[in-house]
A and B are shown apart, each in its own frame.
Chain A
Amino acid sequence: MAAHDPSSRRLPTVLRSLGFAAFVIGLVVFLAALVLGGYQLTPEGLSALEASGKISPDHRDAVLAQLEPLEGQWFRSPGGFIEAVDAALGAANSDLGGSLGDYQQGEYRFWITREASRGPAAGRTTLLFLLSFVLAALGAVAYFLPRLWLEPPGIKNHGVWFSSVRSRGAWGIALGVLLIGFYIGLYFFPAYIVNWIRLADPASRWLTGGPADRWFFYGFLYTLAILVMAVRMAVNYRHNRYQLVRTASVTFFQLGFAFLIPTILGALGKPAYDFKNAWPLDYHFFFDWHLKELMASGALGWFILFWGIGLSVLVVPLMAVFFGKRWYCSWVCGCGGLAETLGDPFRHLSDKRLKAWRVERFLIHGVLVAAVVMTAIVLANFFTAGSGHPLFGGITWKIQKWYGFLIGSIFAGVVGTGFYPLMGNRMWCRMGCPLAAILGIVQRFQSRFRITTNGGQCISCGNCSTYCEMGIDVRWYAQRGQNVVRSSCVGCGICAAVCPRGVLRLENGPTEGRINEVSLVQIGRGRIDLA
């Protein structure tokens, strides 16, 4: 066979090594770009800031006046510089009679630091863009693709539990720390990672004409990660059309719906809306500022308003009735998209214990209640604001902030993705996502979807449970000949793929007999009462 002729293996093996090296170089460049260089405000920098429009005309003069003394000073670390900027902003705030809010100060701090950064990313942005993102991405692809020639199609789980990075070894923990650090920087200390954000400028200028802010940077990196890791999924599951189509689908929705469309809309001054992101996952859909923004955006804004409501209350649950929650969670959703691509190497780390299931039900429904209550209060205040006495007083801003902080940032981001190498790739989807909670309730009680178990063929090997990213003990059901009907199942189909005995099939069908109880001796007798 060609696959094992040593000479035909040489080229792909070399390519794989080169790809790996390229990826590592790209990663090192990316990490180095963060810490190299320093911070200095130059006269050109100050005038660029002035011209950028990032500082509101009301504050511009006061802020720039306070920044002037910093001009020319060199700071090695972002900490020192940001401290100085904060002092300047504080002074500007007093000059302005306290009209500079926290949020605005944060934005200004970010843009001022971004302008002042003198790292490699500021000087040779395009070169570094190529040497980091592009090199790492191409390297990774070159690492994955040669498997096409090196291994026959089939399940590729050899050595998963021997790999340090995939089994919570030292490398796995290091990766977890890196990811967690990344998210903490992104959400809470964006001014500290301006060097990274600037790295995305070439893409940002090309798509929007402007410099990258942190959300562009994040969206770009997120989409790139999905694209690259989708190649890995496609190579690994090339024998499995369900996986191929599903991976193509999440990639398409991420690239088009989550990244390109909102970015372009934003660049055109329209609401940067992700048309597939449904409330309550999209928790700020009903935030007052968002509603105001939509209402102020003409026909498109109103369309988005109706679309978003229709999507959340009609389309999402109804589709779950027909296809299960999978149509959203593992075919469309962005969080799901990242989990199924970048997160796939970590799926077996999900906790399968009954205890974890208990925690899961408590947490995910708790978050759902929190999201509903928060949205109800925000909406009540929104509709009663006209009277001058919002129903729940002035707490809108506060609960929006706290929900965003605890659920949106810490849970969905830091834990959701940062914990991939520690607790598996679906921590957020399993334990936290309120949309998944709604879909799960539909799936459990009112859906045509189930995973059918194939009679008595199960050998209780445990591959299905091990590789279930939602921590479902699939084997528990399979070995009893019982269908898997679980609210958390995202229908990724991996359990059915890894099962060595062809026991599991995801399918939609009549709801009658969906939740069944089968005794094994009856299987032996040749007749099963399916009703």
Chain B
Amino acid sequence: MSQVVIIGNGIAGITAARHIRKRSDVPITVVSAESDHFFSRTALMYIYMGHMTYDNTKPYEDWFWDKNRISLVRGYVDQVDTEAKKVRLAGGRHLPYSSLIIASGSKSNKFGWPGQDLDGVQGLYSLQDLEQMEKSTAGIERAVVVGGGLIGVEMSEMLHSRGIPVTFLVRETSWMNFAYPPEESAMINREIRAHGIDLRLGTEIERIEGDERGSARAVVTKGSETQASETLPCDFVGLTVGVSPNIDFLRGSGIELDRGVLVDDHLRTSAPDVYAAGDCVQLRNPKPGRRPIEPLWYTGRMMGETIARTLCGEETAYDPGIWFNSAKFFDLEWQVYGQVPAKLGDGEKTLYWEHPDGGRAIRIVYRAEDLAVTGFQLMGIRYRHELCQRWIADGCPLPEVLENLGAANFDPELYRQYEGELVALYNRQHPGAPLRLRRRRGLKGMLELLRAS
């Protein structure tokens, strides 16, 4: 290994670079077309809302790269030559590599709707998208956001923070009800509406109409089931209908592609010494219960470190471990550990508690046969990653989890704790030997549990 080249300065590429540098002195070059420095894509919304500046989103100060001898190149890779082992930048410059890591991220989906290329119609993925959105939304009257995913909620919140009325079109009859159980999905619907967003469930986009200057003027919708059509006047349309791997520049390179860059268990592509990490990756053999493409911050980070280990001589297979994720819908925080499906599978059961105010919930999923817990889902409450993960990994039975559940609570000090109510609910549902909550929130209890198992 004499020269590592990394395409993409996102979390996947940068994590790889940092961990290679921790273990080796090999020259590292990171190429990005988007920005001079690594910034946090997940924080794009906070720039628009005025919570942070662009500089605040950079996880490392600018001197960090020089000091760690990671050279940054601003440019677009338009060709990868896996025979000659070099990449070509637009403009003609070549960068030879001994090892190449492709970490080129995603691009926003568009599904060929009429009018999708009008001015004032866009997705949100890159810094350039954010700049565009800044321009397109200055002084506008109304916006429509299309597509009920996480970025759709973020975009609605962004526009709302600037006082722009938002209509939010979601195809499903309840927000993300294909991924969330009905109770949580309903809670998120309520949260979106409580902030004054005009949430239209069961509504799809038909086309976007433009004015004579080629700018968006209205969105024409149709009901997913009713087919009823409506015209919503607006001067901005956010298209947030998912992302897909950003791999077009690799076509013809000989690297095997499908929807993403195909990789094996060690994140190796079909070409020698070429690896891939992050959003652009499609796993040939995902772990059971996991998807081949998981465009997430956390997976990109884990992949980056995995490749760094392998490259530096410690052959490591990619293991994302037990699923976890989190998000915030307006003011409602969500965390998940393990598998919490929208619809229970065979042999799965669930215990769900919701606060009477409808803004907080705890759900535990477990196996009917041995009561082993398999998932935790929290709404408006924070839980400890380590402990939930440990319980799931150990297949800890629900009664034992419930009795110790307080220790998993990660809410700030002085917050009310609701684990007692969950235990009481369980006792009502399972008359007989009642369980008792034996632990309350606290670091000591958590450490004891982690050490014991």
Are A530 and B386 closer than 8 Å at their CB atoms? yes
Q: Give the distance in Å from the alpha carbon of A240 to the alpha carbon of B414 in the complex.
A: 9
- The answer, yes or no, to whether A103 is at the interface (CB within 8 Å) is no
- The answer, yes or no, to whether B410 is at the interface (CB within 8 Å) is yes
Determine which residue in A245, A454, A462, A501 has the highest number of CB atoms from chain B within 10 A of its CB, and name it: A462
Are A456 and B390 closer than 8 Å at their CB atoms? no
Inter-chain contacts of A527 with B (CB < 8 A): 390, 393
Question: What per-residue 1/0 map shows which CB atoms of A440-455 lie under 8 Å from chain B?
Answer: 0000000000001011
Are B51 and A463 closer than 8 Å at their CB atoms? yes
Q: Quick one: given A462-B40, A466-B56, A520-B301, are A159 and B335 in contact (CB under 8 Å)?
A: no
- Which of A241, A462, A493, A512 is in CB contact (< 8 Å) with B57? A462
Residue of A nearest to B38 (CB): A460
- The answer, yes or no, to whether A210 is at the interface (CB within 8 Å) is no
- Which of B43, B321, B412 is in CB contact (< 8 Å) with A524? B321
Q: Give the distance in Å from the alpha carbon of A525 to the alpha carbon of B386 in the complex.
A: 11
Q: Quick one: given A462-B59, A513-B447, are A526 and B321 in contact (CB under 8 Å)?
A: yes
Are A523 and B321 closer than 8 Å at their CB atoms? yes
Are A520 and B302 closer than 8 Å at their CB atoms? yes
Inter-chain contacts of B413 with A (CB < 8 A): 242, 493, 505-507
- The answer, yes or no, to whether A161 is at the interface (CB within 8 Å) is yes
Are A530 and B56 closer than 8 Å at their CB atoms? no
- Which of A461, A496, A505, A513 is in CB contact (< 8 Å) with B42? A461
Are A460 and B59 closer than 8 Å at their CB atoms? yes
Are B306 and A521 closer than 8 Å at their CB atoms? yes
Question: What per-residue 1/0 map shows which CB atoms of A478-501 lie under 8 Å from chain B?
Answer: 010000000000000100111011
- Which of B53, B194, B330, B335 is in CB contact (< 8 Å) with A1? B194
Q: Give the distance in Å from the alpha carbon of A431 to the alpha carbon of B368 in the complex.
A: 58
Chain B's interface size range is 35 or more
- The answer, yes or no, to whether B450 is at the interface (CB within 8 Å) is yes
Inter-chain contacts of B61 with A (CB < 8 A): 353-354
Are A241 and B412 closer than 8 Å at their CB atoms? yes
- The answer, yes or no, to whether A510 is at the interface (CB within 8 Å) is yes
- The answer, yes or no, to whether A528 is at the interface (CB within 8 Å) is yes
Inter-chain contacts of A457 with B (CB < 8 A): 298, 324, 326, 335, 385
Inter-chain contacts of B46 with A (CB < 8 A): 461-463
Q: Give the distance in Å from the alpha carbon of A1 to the alpha carbon of B410 in the complex.
A: 30
Inter-chain contacts of A456 with B (CB < 8 A): 298, 301, 324, 385
Give the Cβ gap from A382 to chain B, nearest Cβ, in Å: 43
Are B50 and A160 closer than 8 Å at their CB atoms? yes
Are A525 and B321 closer than 8 Å at their CB atoms? yes
Residue of B nearest to A501 (CB): B326
Are B331 and A463 closer than 8 Å at their CB atoms? no
Q: Which of B379-403 contact A (CB under 8 A)?
A: 382-386, 389-390, 392-393
Q: Give the distance in Å from the alpha carbon of A249 to the alpha carbon of B297 in the complex.
A: 39
Inter-chain contacts of B442 with A (CB < 8 A): 507, 509
Are A509 and B385 closer than 8 Å at their CB atoms? no
Q: Give the distance in Å from the alpha carbon of A123 to the alpha carbon of B412 in the complex.
A: 52
Are A459 and B331 closer than 8 Å at their CB atoms? no
Question: What per-residue 1/0 map shows which CB atoms of B425-453 lie under 8 Å from chain A?
Answer: 00000000000000000111001001100
- The answer, yes or no, to whether A295 is at the interface (CB within 8 Å) is no
- The answer, yes or no, to whether A502 is at the interface (CB within 8 Å) is yes
Interface segment among A150-158, A218-226, A266-274, A363-371: the answer is A150-158
- Which of B43, B320, B415, B443 is in CB contact (< 8 Å) with A510? B443
Q: Quick one: given A152-B195, A353-B61, A502-B335, are A161 and B51 in contact (CB under 8 Å)?
A: yes
Determine which residue in B50, B195, B444 has the highest number of CB atoms from chain A within 10 A of its CB, and name it: B50
Determine which residue in A158, A162, A520, A521 has the highest number of CB atoms from chain B within 10 A of its CB, and name it: A521
Are B443 and A507 closer than 8 Å at their CB atoms? yes
Are B412 and A454 closer than 8 Å at their CB atoms? no
Are B330 and A520 closer than 8 Å at their CB atoms? no
Q: Which of B43-64 contact A (CB under 8 A)?
A: 43, 46, 49-53, 56-59, 61
- The answer, yes or no, to whether A99 is at the interface (CB within 8 Å) is no
Inter-chain contacts of B108 with A (CB < 8 A): none
- The answer, yes or no, to whether A475 is at the interface (CB within 8 Å) is yes
Determine which residue in B195, B306, B410 has the highest number of CB atoms from chain A within 10 A of its CB, and name it: B410
- The answer, yes or no, to whether A77 is at the interface (CB within 8 Å) is no
- The answer, yes or no, to whether A292 is at the interface (CB within 8 Å) is no
Are A242 and B415 closer than 8 Å at their CB atoms? yes
Residue of B nearest to A155 (CB): B331
Q: Give the distance in Å from the alpha carbon of A1 to the alpha carbon of B202 in the complex.
A: 21
Give the Cβ gap from A293 to chain B, nearest Cβ, in Å: 40
Give the Cβ gap from B174 to chain A, nearest Cβ, in Å: 18
Residue of A nearest to B51 (CB): A157
Are B50 and A530 closer than 8 Å at their CB atoms? no
Inter-chain contacts of A164 with B (CB < 8 A): none
Residue of B nearest to A239 (CB): B331
- The answer, yes or no, to whether A508 is at the interface (CB within 8 Å) is yes
- The answer, yes or no, to whether B328 is at the interface (CB within 8 Å) is yes
- The answer, yes or no, to whether A104 is at the interface (CB within 8 Å) is no
- The answer, yes or no, to whether A54 is at the interface (CB within 8 Å) is no
Residue of B nearest to A513 (CB): B447
Are B43 and A461 closer than 8 Å at their CB atoms? yes
Inter-chain contacts of A476 with B (CB < 8 A): 59
Inter-chain contacts of B327 with A (CB < 8 A): 500-501
Q: Which of B328-372 contact A (CB under 8 A)?
A: 328, 330-331, 333, 335
Q: Give the distance in Å from the alpha carbon of A154 to the alpha carbon of B331 in the complex.
A: 5
Inter-chain contacts of A525 with B (CB < 8 A): 319, 321
Are B443 and A462 closer than 8 Å at their CB atoms? no
Q: Which of B136-150 contact A (CB under 8 A)?
A: none
Q: Give the distance in Å from the alpha carbon of A3 to the alpha carbon of B43 in the complex.
A: 27
Determine which residue in B11, B383, B413, B415 has the highest number of CB atoms from chain A within 10 A of its CB, and name it: B413
- The answer, yes or no, to whether A10 is at the interface (CB within 8 Å) is no
Inter-chain contacts of A153 with B (CB < 8 A): 331
Are A508 and B443 closer than 8 Å at their CB atoms? yes
Q: Give the distance in Å from the alpha carbon of A280 to the alpha carbon of B5 in the complex.
A: 55
- The answer, yes or no, to whether A8 is at the interface (CB within 8 Å) is no
Q: Give the distance in Å from the alpha carbon of A260 to the alpha carbon of B335 in the complex.
A: 46
- The answer, yes or no, to whether A4 is at the interface (CB within 8 Å) is yes
- The answer, yes or no, to whether A94 is at the interface (CB within 8 Å) is no
Q: Which of B270-326 contact A (CB under 8 A)?
A: 297-298, 301-302, 305-306, 309, 316, 319-322, 324, 326
- Chain B positions within 8 Å of A, measured between CB atoms, are 11, 15, 40, 42-43, 46, 49-53, 56-59, 61, 161, 193-196, 297-298, 301-302, 305-306, 309, 316, 319-322, 324, 326-328, 330-331, 333, 335, 382-386, 389-390, 392-393, 410-416, 442-444, 447, 450-451
12 contacts between A and B (CB under 8 A): A241-B415, A454-B410, A459-B297, A463-B51, A502-B382, A505-B410, A505-B413, A510-B443, A513-B447, A521-B305, A523-B302, A525-B321
User: Which 9 pairs from chain A and chain B are nearest by CB?
Assistant: A455-B385, A154-B331, A509-B443, A502-B382, A524-B321, A461-B43, A4-B196, A159-B50, A459-B42
Task: Please name 6 further chain A to chain B contacts, defined as beta carbons within 8 Å, in addition to the given A154-B331, A510-B443, sorted by A numbering.
Answer: A152-B195, A452-B410, A461-B40, A505-B410, A505-B411, A505-B412
- Chain A positions within 8 Å of B, measured between CB atoms, are 1, 3-4, 152-155, 157-163, 239-242, 245, 348, 353-354, 452, 454-457, 459-463, 465-466, 475-476, 479, 493, 496-498, 500-502, 505-510, 512-513, 519-521, 523-528, 530
